[in-house]
Structure 1
Amino acid sequence: MIKDIITNIILIVLIILTIFVFIMLFGKDLGIVIDIDAIKGSITQLFEKEEEEPEEANVADTAASDSSEEETVTVASMYDNTITIEYELSDEVLYNPLMGFAPNADSDEGTDVNMDKVRLVYIEVTWAEFEPEQGVYDFEKIETDNHLQEWRNAGKNAVLRFVCDVPSDEDHMDIPDWVYKMTKDGKKYDMSYGKGYCPDYSNEDFIAAHNEALKALGEYFSKDSFVRYVELGSLGHWGEWHINIDEDDGLPVMPDADTRTIYVKAYEDAFPDAKLLMRRPFEELPEGGGVFNDMTGSYKDTTEWLTWINEGGVYEQTGEEDALIAIPDIWKTAPVGGEFTSSIPMEDMLISQYATTSSLISDSHMTFIGPKVPEREDLSGAAWFRCDDIMKMLGYRYAVTTMEYGGDNTQSVIGLRISNEALAPIYWDYPVYLYLKDEMGNIEKYKVDIDLTKLYGGESTYVMTTVPVSFDSLSTYQIFLGIEDPQTQQPAVYIATNAERSGYMTILK
C-alpha cells in the first residue's frame, strides 16, 4: 500500500517535470510562458509571515484612495430619496489622448504596436536633414518621411526631439555640412555607441545657428496643436545631454549651466504651448517641465535615474555640484516620458523580468513610452498580452465607480465618485460634463466641478452637480458623462467604467 502511494507520487512528480521542461523548450513558440518571478513570489508567500508588497505593479487593481482629507458631503446626506448606482471598473485598454505608447512616426501602419490605435507618435529630426543649407528648412521631408498629415488626420499627437548627434553603424554627421565648415571644433568618434560626430556645444556660432533652426522648427509646429510634447534634445548623443567621454576623452565636454540655460531658453521660446521634458532634472529645468528616461526597463539605469529625480546631486559630466535638483513629485504637475531600453530583449522585459519592468514604470509615474516600443512580430503571444497590462498603467485612467442622485420638485443633485486608476494625471485642462438626454432626444450638458490635472494616480474624489430637473422627472432622462477636448469642445476621452458608451460618452443611466 505505502509502496504504491510512493510510486504514484514519483510518477506525478516526473509528469510535472516533463511538462515544465517541455514548456521551457517550446513554450515561447506556442505562446506559453512560465513567469519564474511569479513562481518565486508564490513560493515565498507560503513561507513568509511578514506583510509583502505586490510583486507586480497593477494599478487598476488598487483601490483608489480619497484625495479629500475632510469628511465628504454626499447626495445621500442631503436627500432621503437618494438613488445609488455602483459600477465595476473596466479592464479594457483605453487608447486615450496624450498618453500610451509613442512609436516612431516614420513607421508604416500595422508594423508597430497597434499603430492604428495609439494616440501618440514620436518624431526625431536631425539638424542635418532639417537645414541642409543655411536658412533653408526642409519641412516637406519631415512631413513626408514621418507621415505627419496621416497622423494628424487620425487624431494623433506627437512627441518631438531635435538632435545633433545620433550614433550609428556608419561614419556620418548629424549637423549640416555648412555648420561643420563654420565651426570645425568637434570630433568624429568610433566607439561602443557607434560612429558619429560630436560638435562643441559651447561654440557661440554653433549656438546661434542652432537657435535659429529651433526657432523655425517651433514656428512651423506651433501652427497647430499636433506636437504636444517636446523632449529637449540638441545636446549629447541622441540628444540625451550626455557625452561618452569615458571611451573617448578627446570629445568635447557637455557645456556648463550657463550655456545649457541658453539652449533651454531657446526651447521655451520656440515651443511655448508644448510640454517640455529633460533627460535629467537639471536646475535649469523649465517651469512646468517634465523628464524622460530612455532606459526604461533597465533596473540599474532606471534606479540611477530615479535617484537623480528624488535626490538631485552632482552632474558627473561637468563636475558641477547640485547641478541636478530633487523633484520627487514632478509627475504631479509635469509629464514623465521615455522609451524602453535597447540593452534588454523586449521579450525578457515583458516576461521573465516583467515584475521589474512594471515596478520601474510604476515608480516613474510614466505617461508615455516611445519610440522604442514592443513590436508584434518580435514577441510571443504571452509577451504581447503583457503590453496591454503596461498600457493600462500608463498616464491617466479615470473612472466613475459610484453615481447617486436625489432632489426635490425643482432640482436634482448628481453625485459622482471619480477615481484615477493609472499612474499620472492628464496635464491639460480637459473639462468633465454630465449630459442629460430627455425623451425627445434633447441634450443639455452641465459642467462637473473637478480638475482632472489634480486627480493623481491611485486617488479618488467625490463631486456633486446640480441640474434644474426635478427628482421625479430625472428618472425619465438618460445620464451620460464625457471628458471633452478643450479645443474641439467634444467628448474625446474614454473612461474606465464598465458601462455602455455612446461614442466617447459613458452612459451612466
Structure 2
Amino acid sequence: KGIQGQWVENGKTFVPDLSDPIFIAYAQKLLNALGARYDGNPNLAFVDIGMVGSWGEWHNSNFTDVAPLLEKYAPEQLNRYVDMHFSSFPKTPKIMLISGGNSLAWASQKGAGWRADCWGDWHNFSAEWSHMRDDYPQRLAAAQTAWPGFNDSWQHAPVSLEICGYMAEWESVQHYTREEVQASFDWALAQHASTLNLKSRPVPAAYRDIVDSALLRIGYRYRVGQLEWDTTVRSGMPLTLNVTWRNDGVAPAYLPYLVQWRIVNDAGTTVTQIKTADDVRQWLPGDHHSSATLPLPAGLPVGQYRLEAALTNHQGQPRIQLANEGKTGDGWYSLASFNLKE
C-alpha cells in the first residue's frame, strides 16, 4: 500500500518504482525473512539475485511504455538490491544475472557468481543478432573491465545458464546444426558453468551425445586418482593415506561438504572413521594432494579391511557421487583393501 510506480498493459501489471523508500523497505523485509529461514540450508545451492525488473531478471524490455531499467536508475540505486541479498543470505552462494549492467560487476566484487538467460541463442530472434555473438561477450567484457576479478568469479561462486527456448525447438524450429549446439556447450564449459537449466524438457536424439559428453565436465567431477599407504599395517598403529584427488570438471563445489574416510571389516562394520581438513570448495580443476591419518584400535583381529571414502554433509550423509567405482549401498566408495598384520 502506498508504493510508487505505474500500471502497464491496460492496468494488468504494476511496475514498482525501485527508488521508492516504501518499496525498498518491503523488499528488504521480505529478503530478511527468507534469509532468516533459508540461509545456509544445505539443500539450497544458490540464491538468484532478483527483485529487479520483469521476473526479477534485471530488465523490463517486455513493457514498451516503461523506460529501460538501466537508463531509469543509477547504478547505486540498483546496487542497493544486490546488497540486500548479501545481507540477507551471507552464507548461501549467490548469482547475478548477466543483464544487470554495472550491478553485475558490483555483485561479483562482493562474491557472487553469475547466470545468463537464453544460452544457446544463435539466431532465435534475428539472423543478424544473437545472445551468443552480440550480447554475452560484450557484457562479460564490460564486467571484467569494471572489476578485474570478474573472470575468476567461478572459482568461488557458481555460473548458471538457462537455455533459450527448448532443445526440441533448437532442432524443429531453429534447425541448429550439431556444430552450433556443440559450440553452445563448449562455451558453457569455457565459462566454467556449474548448472545448465534445460527446463526439464526432452533432449533430441540428434543432440544427446553432445549433452552427455558435456555433463561429464559441467561443474565438479571429483574422484580419487591415486591412493597410497605404508604396506605394513598393524593393529594399534595409525594408518596414513597419501591421496591425490582429481577434479575432472570445470568448476569446484560451492558448499562445504566434508571429506571422510573409514575402515570397514569383512562384516561391514566400521572400525574407525575420520573427517579431514580438506575443503572441497578449493578443489579447482586438476589434482589436489592431501593426507589422512586413521587410528587403528588396538586388538583388531588380523585379516582384510577396506578403505572407503565419502563426501558428506555435516550430518555425515554422503551427498556427492564420486567418479570412482565401488559405490556401496550407503553411498560411500570402497576404494582399496589391505591386510592387517599382528
1:419–1:215 CA distance, 2 compared to 1 (3 A) = same
Q: Indicate yes or no: 2:58 matched with 1:241.
A: yes
1:234–1:449 CA distance, 2 compared to 1 (3 A) = closer
TM-score after normalising by structure 1: 0.54
Asked if 2 retains the 8 angstrom alpha-carbon contact of 1:433 and 1:445, the reply is: yes
Q: 2:278 aligned to 439, 442, 450, which one? A: 450
Instruction: Map 1:68-83; keep pairs closer than 5 Å.
Output: none
1:412 maps to which residue? 239
Q: Report the AA paired with residue 287 of structure 1.
A: K
1:389 maps to which residue? 213
Asked if 2 retains the 8 angstrom alpha-carbon contact of 1:368 and 1:394, the reply is: yes
Asked if 2 retains the 8 angstrom alpha-carbon contact of 1:374 and 1:387, the reply is: no
Cα distance, 1:346 vs structure 2? 3.9
Asked if 1 retains the 8 angstrom alpha-carbon contact of 2:222 and 2:248, the reply is: yes
Structure 1 residue matching 2:284: 3-state secondary structure: coil
Alpha-carbon displacement from aligned partner over 1:256-312 (angstroms, at most 9, x marks no partner): 122123222222233233212111323254632211111222354245434433552
Q: Report the AA paired with residue 431 of structure 1.
A: L
Asked if 2 retains the 8 angstrom alpha-carbon contact of 1:277 and 1:292, the reply is: yes
1:335–1:455 CA distance, 2 compared to 1 (3 A) = same
Separation in 1 of the partners of 2:158 and 2:321?
A: 20
Alpha-carbon displacement from aligned partner over 1:443-485 (angstroms, at most 9, x marks no partner): 311334532111112x012323233449x98871111111111
Q: 2:320 aligned to 466, 485, 493, which one? A: 493
Asked if 2 retains the 8 angstrom alpha-carbon contact of 1:187 and 1:197, the reply is: yes
Q: Report the AA paired with residue 185 of structure 1.
A: G
1:407–1:246 CA distance, 2 compared to 1 (3 A) = same
Let me know the Cα RMSD of the aligned residues: 3.4
Separation in 2 of the partners of 1:395 and 1:456?
A: 10
Q: Indicate yes or no: 2:298 matched with 1:298.
A: no
Structure 2 residue matching 1:359: 3-state secondary structure: helix
Cα distance, 1:430 vs structure 2? 1.2
Q: Percent identity?
A: 19
Cα distance, 1:396 vs structure 2? 0.9
| Structure 1: runs of 5 or more not aligned | 1-177, 315-321
| Structure 1: 4+ residue segments shifted above 6 A | 472-475
Asked if 1 retains the 8 angstrom alpha-carbon contact of 2:325 and 2:335, the reply is: no
Cα distance, 1:325 vs structure 2? 6.1
Q: Report the AA paired with residue 357 of structure 1.
A: S
Asked if 2 retains the 8 angstrom alpha-carbon contact of 1:308 and 1:326, the reply is: no
Relative contact order (alpha carbons < 8 A, sep ≥ 6): 1 or 2 greater? 1
Asked if 2 retains the 8 angstrom alpha-carbon contact of 1:278 and 1:290, the reply is: yes
1:329–1:363 CA distance, 2 compared to 1 (3 A) = same
Q: 1:403 aligned to 221, 227, 244, which one? A: 227
Structure 2 residue matching 1:443: 3-state secondary structure: strand
1:450–1:220 CA distance, 2 compared to 1 (3 A) = closer
Using the TM superposition, name which of 357-366 and 399-408 deviates more. Answer: 399-408
Q: Report the AA paired with residue 483 of structure 1.
A: L
- Alignment: residue pair count: 311
Q: Indicate yes or no: 2:179 matched with 1:362.
A: no
Structure 2 residue matching 1:502: 3-state secondary structure: coil
1:428–1:448 CA distance, 2 compared to 1 (3 A) = same
Alpha-carbon displacement from aligned partner over 1:340-397 (angstroms, at most 9, x marks no partner): 1128734456945221111111112111123x43512xx4334345443333232211
Alpha-carbon displacement from aligned partner over 1:394-451 (angstroms, at most 9, x marks no partner): 2211011222221545443322221111111011221212211124533311334532
Cα distance, 1:507 vs structure 2? 0.9
Separation in 2 of the partners of 1:202 and 1:384?
A: 47
| Structure 2: runs of 5 or more not aligned | 99-103, 123-129, 337-342
Instruction: Map 1:59-74; keep pairs closer than 5 Å.
Output: none
Asked if 1 retains the 8 angstrom alpha-carbon contact of 2:59 and 2:68, the reply is: no
Separation in 2 of the partners of 1:445 and 1:250?
A: 61
Separation in 1 of the partners of 2:112 and 2:40?
A: 21
Cα distance, 1:229 vs structure 2? 1.4
Q: Indicate yes or no: 2:317 matched with 1:506.
A: no
Structure 2 residue matching 1:381: 3-state secondary structure: coil
Separation in 2 of the partners of 1:485 and 1:271?
A: 19
Cα distance, 1:187 vs structure 2? 4.9
Using the TM superposition, name which of 301-310 and 389-398 deviates more. Answer: 301-310
1:327 maps to which residue? 150
Q: 1:263 aligned to 75, 81, 93, which one? A: 81
1:313–1:360 CA distance, 2 compared to 1 (3 A) = closer
Cα distance, 1:254 vs structure 2? 4.2
Asked if 2 retains the 8 angstrom alpha-carbon contact of 1:340 and 1:373, the reply is: yes
2:101 maps to which residue? none
Q: Indicate yes or no: 2:305 matched with 1:481.
A: no
1:200 maps to which residue? 17
Asked if 2 retains the 8 angstrom alpha-carbon contact of 1:228 and 1:273, the reply is: no
For the pair shown, which has the larger CA radius of gyration, 1 or 2? Answer: 1
Separation in 2 of the partners of 1:465 and 1:219?
A: 36
Q: Report the AA paired with residue 156 of structure 2.
A: T
Instruction: Map 1:61-140; keep pairs closer than 5 Å.
Output: none
